Structure 1
Amino acid sequence: MNVLIILAIMTVIIIVWASVDYMLGRKKHLTATNKLKLDPENGQWSFYSEGTKFFKQYFEDLKSAESFIYVQFYIVRNDPLGKEMFQILKKKASDGVTVFFVVDALGSHKLPKSVIESLEESGVNVLVIERPKFPYLFYSFNRRNHRKISVIDGDFAYIGGFNVGEEYLGKDPKLGHWRDYHLRLSGSVVKQFYALIDWELKQSTAQTFHFEFPPVEEKGKEKFTLFATNGEHMESFFLSKINEAKESIFIGTPYFIPGRKIVQALKTACQNGIKVKILIPMRADHPFVKEAAIPFLLPLLHAGAEVYRYYPGFYHAKVFMIDKSFCDLGTANFDKRSFHLNNEVNCLFTSQELIDTVLKVVDFDLQQSEQLQLPDLTKRSLLERTKGLFAITISKFL
């Protein structure tokens, strides 16, 4: 009995500490949140939705670098795919190319210290950012840098959903075929990535780096805009675009936990005759994310939205489309974490050719999916409902 009392007291203390830590950490963070939205720049594009093709091109571009490489991912594994990238970066650094390798402290926490030391010994500038720290340990633990961008010389820039690991090639038997969307850009838009890098380094590290970016070749007729946030402003951006919709809204995301404001805006869109489609995965790669989505999906299904679950494997793409004439593709999920905690960056464009290309892939993915019906959610067991109640209480951390 005494043991149970002690455990209960300790649990209460931990909950109170975490709550106060989060509240104070959030308050301080809000004083420093900002956004970076740059003027549109011209560019040319390539679109990737399959890991094998994406990494083949990506590694070829890394190998072709002559002066500058900036690589940033949320997750980098020390598996065969990660090791292949490490060898390329070390070789380019030893050849005199300025190389930056940037990863999130928790997303890539499994990277051995020996790997980081080996990269640094080869001349690679390694930055492990957003480490949990006092005085707001719990809050900073949840503050993640979720950006996935790369810049190679002044020639190419990458942005999208792929991280670096064998699962992104579909080699995880639990998750199966991996679906993601990623852009490879060239032309004047690469200068936007230079601005983002400067912004990123100033925010994320006390270190000062002095380097000159390679010149950018002016080419491409399509316009692209980067929109970056560091823990706020993403929700208000999505709300503003939803309210602009006249005919259709499409949301593709692995985690649909958007909060009440977004749900209300989408319900209103449905009631106004706007067609709303949402594509999410059937499989889950994290506990409780499926259960946490249900309270947000139910009112939308009642309002007439169409919800599809991707069955062939894991759907990890992050795409938001309005009226088939505006598209947002990048790193932000449609969840509270991306809206209020994470550092994210999305690419905005109205290129009809690129939108049509994305739509073809989206349509194919919808054909591979099963439409979710109200009875699928209303006829849940008591255990499933209990899990859902717990999931919604922790939804901001999922």
Structure 2
Amino acid sequence: MAKSYALRHQPIKAVYLTGQVLATCLVRLPIWLLISLPVSWRPRPSWTLKQCIIVKLVRLLNSVADQVGSLELRAKPNHEAIVPGEGVNGFWIEPVPDLVVGDLKVWATAQDVHPVRIPGYWIHNSDDLLPPFSPPQPGEKTLLQFHGGGYKSLSAHPTDITANISKGLLQHCAPLIRRALSVEYRLSNAAPFPARNPFPAALLDALAAYVYLVQVAGFAPQDIIVEGDSAGGNLALALTRYLVEHAGEHGVPPPPGRLLLASPWCDIGSGARPLPGSSWRVFWNAGLDYLRPGGGLLHCGRAFGGALGLGALDLNRYVSPASLHPALGKVPFKGFPPTFISAGGCEALLDEIRVLRDRMTVDLGESMVAYREEPDAPHDFMVLKWEPATTDTYKAIARWLGL
């Protein structure tokens, strides 16, 4: 990690970023446009010119972030405060320390992580007149959403780009789903930045949000759809596993009615050390995805792992259920709810997502695991509103829900 974030200090950071902006506007962008105009020169013939530029730009931003750290011009909303705004329905979710049992309690103690209150945001369709904190309506399902960002960035706030998924699901799955609870779970970090919130901080927050839906908002577990994209998909898997393993203990509620995973990161341990020939290497080298092996990816894993380390994550069924480490043994999925898994056909996480699909199918059966792979789509394509893959996937999810 010695070379990562080497340019994070001012004024070097500002000088470097200014140079990158000028180089992109004056040199890179014209070249990108020129080489992307012929369809035959594009990474995939199905990609539009706009999609070609988006992937190239996000790849560049990720590489630049590996040198300077955060590229945010202003602080993102986080777990420390509710950020108001027009149409923003934020509230505090109280911690549930009495429901922390088993391995989760052991990990929290080892990492010196404690339950805290966190913000949650109700997201509605703009044309839905249902008041934000109304009790569940007859036949209503609700979405519990966990955003992506490598456990290190992005936000649950309705203005964040990750809200595209919940808004898209609300649009395509109405009137069955009328609102989504987006959870501002704690984000991790590590040296050379101040260390904070390692695993299982986010899982403690996810548990509190689920308990809020059941015990405060009044939703029956079978009416809750737990959804997560990328790292949020990892968190959705971990929460569901905890509920499956501990339902009924000290008041832990039953697992949700359904599980929805969009490009889930499901092998944090060995997935953070990709090998030649893996989907991580192949799709980055071919210019087909924007997730770069190593660098920031390694830092996300180390920040999340904290004192436990990446090696321990390799052997952790909660955060690396698709790990290929021989010492992990069989990862059980008995008791998991019906699950929909969405993946991009040229995304870095494709190998581990397919492993997850296969392992879940062995335990649950094909009828319980719906899998959709969009052939030419990159990682987390629904956040990018990558068409037609995004709309086609929303329609497939609606059919999976019986609409």
Query: TM-score by structure 2 length?
Result: 0.29
Give TM-score, length-normalised by structure 1: 0.29
- Larger RCO, structures 1/2 (Cα 8 Å, 6+ apart): 1
